[in-house]
Amino acid sequence: GNSVTQMEGPVTLSEEAFLTINCTYTATGYPSLFWYVQYPGEGLQLLLKATKADDKGSNKGFEATYRKETTSFHLEKGSVQVSDSAVYFCALSASATGTASKLTFGTGTRLQVTL
C-alpha cells in the first residue's frame, strides 16, 4: 500500500536558519505529492504540491522537488522565521483520474523557530 515517512520532530531552529524536513514515500503508480502546514488550533493548509517527477513546488519561500529516483519530496526553506513555527505534513495522492483525492499523510514534523 501507499505510505509516507517523515523525519521525527520536533525540529528547533534559530530564526534565519536553513530548514530541511525529509519526506520519502512508497506508492504504486505515479502519485501527486503535497506539503501541508498546520498552525496551532487550525486545520491543515496546502503549502505546495508537485504532480510529476522533477516538478518543483514552491510557496512562501518553501520549496520541494519531486524526486522519483529516490522517492523523496524534501521540504526546504533558506531562512526560517518565527512565524513558520507549525506542524508540517507530507502527503501523497495516488488516486486514479475521476476519483476522490484520498490522501495518505505522514505523521507530521513540528518546527519551532526561536529568536
Partner 1 sequence: DAGITQSPRHKVTETGTPVTLRCHQTENHRYMYWYRQDPGHGLRLIHYSYGVKDTDKGEVSDGYSVSRSKTEDFLLTLESATSSQTSVYFCAISALDNSPLHFGNGTRLTVT
List all residues 6 or more positions away from 69 whose beta carbon is below 8 Å from its beta carbon. Answer: none
Examine residue 40 and tell whether it contacts partner 1 (CB under 8 A): no
Q: Please identify, using beta-carbon distances, which residue of 46 and 82 lies nearer to partner 1.
A: 46
Examine residue 17 and tell whether it contacts partner 1 (CB under 8 A): no
Of the residues 33, 44, 64, 92, which one makes contact with partner 1 according to CB under 8 A: 44
Place of cell 533558506: 78
Examine residue 73 and tell whether it contacts partner 1 (CB under 8 A): no
Examine residue 28 and tell whether it contacts partner 1 (CB under 8 A): no
Q: Check: CB of residue 16 under 8 Å from CB of residue 82.
A: no
Q: Which amino acid, residue 109?
A: T
Q: Check: CB of residue 6 under 8 Å from CB of residue 23.
A: yes
Q: Of the ranges 13-21, 60-68, 72-80, 99-107, which one interacts with partner 1 (CB under 8 A)?
A: 99-107
Pairing of the two strands 11-14 and 32-38: unpaired
Give the residues across from 3 on adjacent strands.
26
Examine residue 107 and tell whether it contacts partner 1 (CB under 8 A): yes
Examine residue 25 and tell whether it contacts partner 1 (CB under 8 A): no
Q: Of the ranges 15-23, 39-47, 60-68, 71-79, which one interacts with partner 1 (CB under 8 A)?
A: 39-47
In angstroms, rounded to a whole number, what is the distance separating the alpha carbons of residues 65 and 91?
Answer: 14
Examine residue 66 and tell whether it contacts partner 1 (CB under 8 A): no
